[in-house]
Every structure is written in structure tokens, then in C-alpha cells.
């Protein structure tokens, strides 16, 4: 009957619930007067036991319990202070009402709980307190009024929960965080009645257990998790110096630190099993939200903290001038005059970047205006993003190709996630050779790696299953590190390995030596390279004796879908075009920036 009454009141309107709360508040105040007003208890002279031995209760035969078990049962009694925050959408001035109401609730509740604890200690000895649950009514001025106050307090807590919880549920539904969110978020006259019915079913299921002391520890776990997260957010926002964090009531940083540590400590002391269950449920919900892409609306605290943390990390990296070769990943810059051109290399660019690399598309608005060109570049960037590539874009309105690319390289040089590889397509028109040479020279000056894709007009990328990595012979007395740097093979090896992994295909290491004696040395060198560079053992080595310009010799090389060749001479564009034709497959010409290492 009580449950149906509370549901009925909450279902009608929050305004009706608020008015009833005033009546309940008057009854509770009267009951407190009836209890604390019994001067005979205060003058009883009974000694107060500051530390009890927690004997348990009649239902467990006084088998004993612990402080933390009592804490878990009592803790939900202190969570009513959040009722005002849960009703923020109904308040006229939540910014003023929530802090004032919450702090007032904490202060008044603390005074009342301490006063009742002292009164109870004077009203009876510990044995009677553990065996007689109605001792407070028995020693009051008028027992019926105390019973009415106890029932009123329980009624008030239940009513506050059934008014506040459905609004939180509806808000989660509005943000599409929960399954069936649109259905849950529907309101009638401002009341989230569908969410209220769902909340009622959950509450009824809890009541059917008929043992609220068993449920209380689990509820305590979720409240402690919520409080711990609030403290962690407080720590993060106050430490990062976010401009959006301007509290009117400032507290020392030590307060939220102690709060977060205390919440986690209390959770696992009270009940490790329930703590793991509660934490697992929260983590599962978060993973589900992230996996389904049901992110909240923009401007969330989470996004602000992520941005602030990223900026802090970036400032530390710049401050320490970190250029760790082991942390290298391809951050490609792809200048584009026509989006269709990059779409032709979509698979190659995606496989080079995934999974942890990034792509910066630089739109050069030389033909169209920047305003008309930008939507096409944005669409292209979105397509890469959907393929799992971290892709961003920018559009510059430049007078020419060279000026646009050089401006982009220079402007992005100071960025934290600055491009470390310039990705270009090998042109076929002779009039574009000189502009390309100027761009390549500027990239070398700025210490940016180069990937020049010569796409075969007929073969394209073929079956995307075989990668041939071409390696020049090592000079006598030359170390492996020197050889890789001088031959521009660091970036070539890294690119070949990424493509072989993405394609799940074959990797061939090919070298051409002038004599048989050099061929023997070449085989040893390739074996050493496989070991030092941690190239998969299934990679095949091919050592040929002869001249690279011998077409019959090239015919002995396994047919590859992509050739990876080191680029030493930036002026040899005609040679690159000739190589693509003679290889009869697409070729990726690469040049190191000096910031990468295949040995790392």
C-alpha cells in the first residue's frame, strides 16, 4: 500500500510530492522534539560507550558483526543530501539552491544524527539497544508521534528517490546512453512517467527480496563510486586550471583527494565482492556506451578533461623536446588539389596510417574557392575517419601548388601532432616535375619524411598481398645503422612492415649485387637485417647478381603488388617514372626524415 501510494504521488507531479514533503517535515520535527525533549534520558547518568563491540542483532543470534558492516547499512541514510541535485531541472535557481540546500542538509543531518546517537547511548545500555529496536519510541515523550516520524522519514526518502531517479533515467535516455532512450525520455506535462514506471519496477524487485539489509551494501557501493568519481573530477579540473572551473566555494585540493581515496578504501573494506560487482557494472556500461557510439551532447566534462590532459601532455613533450624513435608513427600530410586523386590512393594511405597513425589532408584551393572546396575535403576526411584513420583537414587558398604545400609544411611544423611524412603522388606531366622538386627540397630542409606514390596506370595496387622491399648493398665496414640512414631505408622498412601487416600478405626483401662475392655478403646482410629490425621470419630474401637496369634480371624478382624503394636523388623523377613501368607495378619511393629508425 505504501509503495503504491508513493508511486501514485510521484506519478501525478513533482509539485504534489514537494507539498507533501512539507507535511512530512513537520511530522519529523515533532517526532524529534518528542525524542530529544525527554529530559529524563539526558539526566539518566548512563555511561556512554564511545566504541562498541558490534554484537549483532537478534536475527543473527548476536553472532557479531563489524564496524564496516554497520557502515554499509547506515551509509544510504546519508545519501539523501543528493536529492536536491537530482531535482536540478525543477529548481528555479539551481546554482544557488543546490549548494545552499546540500550544505544545509549535511550540517543539519550531522547535528541530528550525533544528537540521536548520544541520546540513544544515554537511553539504554548496549545490550538493550541491540535487542530492542523500538527503544527510541519507548523512551520518548509520546511513542505514536515517534513512530509517525520514523514512517514519515522513510516515506520522505522513498518519495525523494522516486521523484529524482526517473529524471536522471530520462536524461540518460535523452542522451541516447541507455537502450530505448527515446522511449524513456518522453515526458507528459513535464513528468517523465515512462522512466518513473521503469524505476518503480526496479524498486519493487528490490522490495520483493524482503531483506533490505542485504541490498544496502550493494547500494552503498554505487553511491561510493559516484562520490569517488565526483572527487576525481574535482581533482582533475582544479589541477588542470580549466577556465570553466570557477567554483564560488573553493576547497583545498586535499579534500577531494581524501574523499576519492576514502570512497575506494571503504568500498573494498565493506564488501570486496559487492565492490567488484558494482565496479564491473559501471565499467561494462561505459564500454557499452563507447562501443555503440552513444556519446552525450557536446560540452561534457569528460571531453573537457580529455582535451586538458592532452594539452598538458603536449606541453610536456614540447618542453622536454621528446623525439623518441620508439614512439614513431606515421603522421601523413597529403596535399590535395582534387579530392578524386587521393581517393585513388585511399587503400594505400589507410593501410599506411592504421591503426595508430594519422592523416592530415591539406586542401589547396587553387581552382575553386576555399568555401566551395572545403566541403569536398571534409567529406574525404570523414571517409578516412570511418575507415579507422585519425584524419583531420585544413584548406588554404594559395596562389599555386608549391606555395600551398610549402606554406602548409611550414605552418604545421610547430604543431604538436605535426606531420612527419609528406605523401605525394608521382606526376606524369613533365611540367609538374620542377614544382615537385621544389616541394621535395623543402620537405628535406624541414626534416619531413617523403612518400612518393607512383601508381601503375593498369596494375594499380593489384591484389594488395605482396610487398617487395628493395635494399641497396652495404658497403664494406659500414654499420647497419649507417647503411639504413644513408640508403633511406628506415622509412622504407617501416612502411613495408605496416603494409605487409595490413594486407596479411607476403614480404620480399630484394637486393642486387654486382658480383657473386658481394651476393654472399648481401645474403648475410639481409639475414642480419631481419634479425635487428625484427622483420617477420617468414619474409623471403632474394639476392640477385647483375645490373638494376637489366630487364631480364628484374623479371626474376617475384611479382609484387607494391614495390618500396629508397629515394636518394630528388631530381631523378624521370628515373622514378621509368622504374614504375619497368617494375610493372606501383612503387612507393621513400626518403627518411632522420626521426625514424627501423632498429628501434
| Per-residue pLDDT tens digits for 521-561 | 889 989 989 998 999 888 999 999 988 888 888 888 889 99
| Other C-beta atoms lying within 10 Å of the C-beta of residue 492 | 25
Quick: pLDDT tens for 344-402. Answer: 788 899 999 988 889 999 888 865 566 678 888 888 889 998 888 989 988 887 768 88
Domain shared by 27 and 166, yes or no: yes
Quick check: is 458 in a domain?
Answer: no
CA 85 remoteness from chain centre: 26
Domain shared by 55 and 129, yes or no: yes
How many structural domains comprise the chain?
4
Provide the pLDDT confidence category of residue 29 given band limits of 50, 70 and 90.
Answer: very high
Residues 548 and 528 sit within 8 Å (Cβ to Cβ): no
Quick check: is 384 in a domain?
Answer: yes
What's 374's domain CATH number?
3.40.50.620
Asked whether the predicted pLDDT for residue 468 surpasses 60, the reply is yes
Kindly state the average pLDDT of the residues 78-90: 68
Domain shared by 184 and 229, yes or no: no
Quick check: is 461 in a domain?
Answer: no
Q: Which three cell numbers stand for residue 300?
A: 561534457
Q: Which three cell numbers stand for residue 233?
A: 573530477
Quick check: is 559 in a domain?
Answer: yes
Instruction: Report the candidate in 14, 24, 2 with the shortest Cα–Cα distance to residue 204.
Output: 2
Quick check: is 423 in a domain?
Answer: yes
Domain shared by 71 and 88, yes or no: yes
Quick check: is 363 in a domain?
Answer: yes
Domain shared by 297 and 430, yes or no: no
Could you tell me which residues are beta bridge partners of residue 331? Answer: 358
Domain shared by 173 and 222, yes or no: no
Average pLDDT, the chain: 83
Mean pLDDT is lowest, of 22-31, 281-290, 567-576, for: 281-290
What is the reported pTM? Answer: 0.61
Quick check: is 574 in a domain?
Answer: yes
- Structural domain including 301 reads 213-322
Quick: pLDDT tens for 414-462. Answer: 666 788 899 999 988 888 889 899 999 999 998 899 999 999 988 889 8
Asked whether the predicted pLDDT for residue 244 surpasses 90, the reply is no
Domain shared by 110 and 167, yes or no: yes
Could you tell me which residues are beta bridge partners of residue 295? Answer: none
Domain shared by 61 and 171, yes or no: yes
Domain shared by 20 and 157, yes or no: yes
Last residue of a domain, one of 188, 212, 236: 212
Domain shared by 263 and 308, yes or no: yes
Domain shared by 88 and 126, yes or no: yes
Write down the pLDDT at residue 233.
83
Last residue of a domain, one of 278, 302, 322: 322
Quick check: is 73 in a domain?
Answer: yes
For 321-432, where are the alpha helices, taking DSSP H only? 339-344, 346-353, 370-386, 401-412
Q: Which three cell numbers stand for residue 282?
A: 559501471
Last residue of a domain, one of 145, 180, 212: 212
Domain shared by 43 and 158, yes or no: yes
Edge-to-edge strands, sheet with 506-513: 390-396, 358-364, 331-336, 421-425, 449-454, 586-591, 562-566, 466-470, 506-513, 540-545
Amino acid at each position: 500500500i505504501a509503495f503504491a501510494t508513493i508511486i501514485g504521488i510521484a506519478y501525478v507531479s513533482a509539485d504534489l510530492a514537494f507539498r507533501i514533503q512539507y507535511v512530512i517535515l513537520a511530522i519529523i520535527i515533532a517526532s524529534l522534539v518528542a525524542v530529544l525533549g525527554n529530559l529524563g534520558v539526558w539526566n539518566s547518568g548512563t555511561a556512554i560507550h564511545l566504541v562498541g563491540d558490534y554484537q549483532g542483532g537478534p536475527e543473527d543470534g548476536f553472532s557479531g558483526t563489524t564496524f564496516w558492516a554497520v557502515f554499509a547499512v547506515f551509509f544510504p541514510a546519508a545519501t539523501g543530501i543528493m536529492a536536491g541535485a537530482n531535482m536540478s531541472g525543477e529548481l528555479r535557481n539551481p546554482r544557488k539552491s543546490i549548494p545552499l540546500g546540500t550544505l544545509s542538509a549535511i550540517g543539519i543531518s550531522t547535528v541530528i544524527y550525533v544528537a540521536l546517537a548520544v541520546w540513544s547511548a544515554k537511553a539504554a545500555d548496549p545490550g538493550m539497544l541491540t535487542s530492542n529496536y523500538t527503544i527510541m519510541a519507548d523512551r520518548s515523550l509520546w511513542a505514536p508521534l515517534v513512530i509517525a516520524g520514523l514512517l514519515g522519514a522513510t516515506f520522505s526518502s522513498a518519495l525523494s528517490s522516486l521523484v529524482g531517479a526517473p529524471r536522471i533515467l530520462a536524461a540518460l535516455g535523452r542522451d541516447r546512453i541507455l537502450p530505448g532512450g527515446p522511449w524513456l525520455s518522453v515526458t507528459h506535462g513535464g513528468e517523465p512517467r515512462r522512466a518513473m514506471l521503469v524505476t518503480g519496477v526496479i524498486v519493487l524487485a528490490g522490495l520483493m527480496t524482503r531483506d533490505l539489509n542485504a541490498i544496502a551494501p550493494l547500494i552503498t557501493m554505487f553511491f561510493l563510486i559516484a562520490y569517488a568519481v565526483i572527487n576525481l573530477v574535482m581533482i582533475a579540473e582544479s589541477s588542470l586550471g580549466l577556465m570553466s572551473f570557477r567554483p564560488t566555494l573553493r576547497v583545498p585540493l586535499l579534500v577531494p583527494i581524501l574523499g576519492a581515496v576514502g570512497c575506494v578504501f571503504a568500498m573494498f573494506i565493506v564488501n570486496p565482492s559487492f565492490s567488484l560487482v558494482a565496479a564491473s557494472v559501471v565499467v561494462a556500461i561505459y564500454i557499452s556506451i563507447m562501443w555503440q557510439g552513444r556519446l552525450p551532447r557536446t560540452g561534457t566534462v569528460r571531453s573537457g578533461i580529455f582535451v586538458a590532459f592532452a594539452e598538458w601532455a603536449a606541453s610536456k613533450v614540447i618542453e622536454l623536446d621528446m623525439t623518441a624513435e620508439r614512439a614513431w608513427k606515421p603522421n601523413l600530410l597529403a596535399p590535395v588539389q582534387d579530392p578524386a586523386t587521393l581517393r585513388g590512393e585511399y587503400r594505400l594511405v589507410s593501410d599506411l596510417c592504421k591503426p595508430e597513425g594519422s592523416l592530415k589532408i591539406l586542401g589547396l584551393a587553387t581552382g575553386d574557392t576555399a568555401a566551395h572546396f572545403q566541403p569536398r575535403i571534409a567529406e574525404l576526411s570523414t571517409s578516412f575517419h570511418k575507415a579507422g584513420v585519425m584524419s583531420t583537414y585544413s584548406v588554404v587558398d594559395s596562389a599555386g601548388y608549391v606555395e600551398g604545400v610549402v606554406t602548409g609544411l611550414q605552418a604545421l611544423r610547430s604543431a604538436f601532432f605535426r606531420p612527419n611524412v609528406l605523401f605525394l603522388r608521382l606526376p606524369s606531366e613533365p611540367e609538374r616535375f620542377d614544382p615537385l622538386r621544389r616541394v621535395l627540397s623543402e620537405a628535406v630542409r624541414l626534416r619531413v619524411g617523403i612518400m612518393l606514390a607512383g601508381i601503375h596506370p593498369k596494375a594499380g595496387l593489384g591484389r594488395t598481398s605482396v610487398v617487395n622491399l628493395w635494399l641497396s648493398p652495404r658497403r664494406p665496414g659500414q654499420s647497419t645503422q649507417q647503411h639504413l640512414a644513408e640508403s633511406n631505408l628506415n622509412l622504407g622498412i617501416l612502411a613495408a612492415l605496416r603494409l605487409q601487416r595490413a594486407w596479411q600478405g607476403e614480404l620480399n626483401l630484394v637486393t642486387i649485387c654486382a658480383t657473386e662475392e658481394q651476393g654472399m655478403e648481401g645474403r648475410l646482410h639481409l639475414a642480419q637485417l631481419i634479425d635487428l629490425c625484427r622483420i617477420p621470419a617468414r619474409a623471403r630474401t632474394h639476392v640477385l647478381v647483375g645490373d638494376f637496369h637489366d630487364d631480364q634480371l628484374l623479371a626474376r624478382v617475384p611479382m609484387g603488388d607494391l614495390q618500396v624503394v629508397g629515394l636518394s636523388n630528388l631530381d631523378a623523377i624521370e628515373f622514378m617514372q621509368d622504374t614504375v613501368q619497368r617494375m610493372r607495378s606501383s612503387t612507393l619511393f621513400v626518403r627518411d626524415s632522420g626521426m625514424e629508425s627501423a632498429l628501434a
